[in-house]
Amino acid sequence: MTTITPEAIASQAGELARSGPSGGATETLVEAAGGDRRLIEAARDHVASHLHNAVDDFEATAALTLLNRTLASMPRHDPLDWRVRWTQRFRRP
């Protein structure tokens, strides 16, 4: 079993961003990460930290945009969802 690292996802996002606009780029990244949102978030953080040191790296900016677009299309699980807590707050015994 191979372990996918955030750096590998970030480099793949950079390659997809360089290849031009394609409709399946977000799906490709989700498949490469195995549907793991935390892995894509770590790749986004890796690219963002690189951009703090090299603000003129436009390819990294395109990769960051693609990673953010991928995260926006993925479902989010929030264990502290206010709707669940609101209904439990007024629950009768």
Inform me whether the pLDDT recorded for 84 exceeds 60. no
3-state secondary structure of 76: coil
Q: pLDDT higher for 1 or 70?
A: 70
Domain boundaries defined on the chain: 6-89
Once rounded to an integer, what is the mean pLDDT over residues 47-72?
92
By C-alpha distance, which of 57, 64, 11, 18 is closest to 41?
Answer: 64
34-51 tens-digit pLDDT: 989 999 999 999 999 999
Chain centre distance of CA 5: 13
**pTM for the whole thing?**
0.78
Task: State which amino acid sits at residue 4.
Answer: I
Tokens of 66: 């693609």
Flag whether pLDDT at 78 surpasses 60: yes
> What pLDDT is stored for residue 20 in this prediction?
76
Q: What is the mean pLDDT of residues 57-61?
A: 91
Say if residues 8 and 28 touch (Cβ distance below 8 Å): no
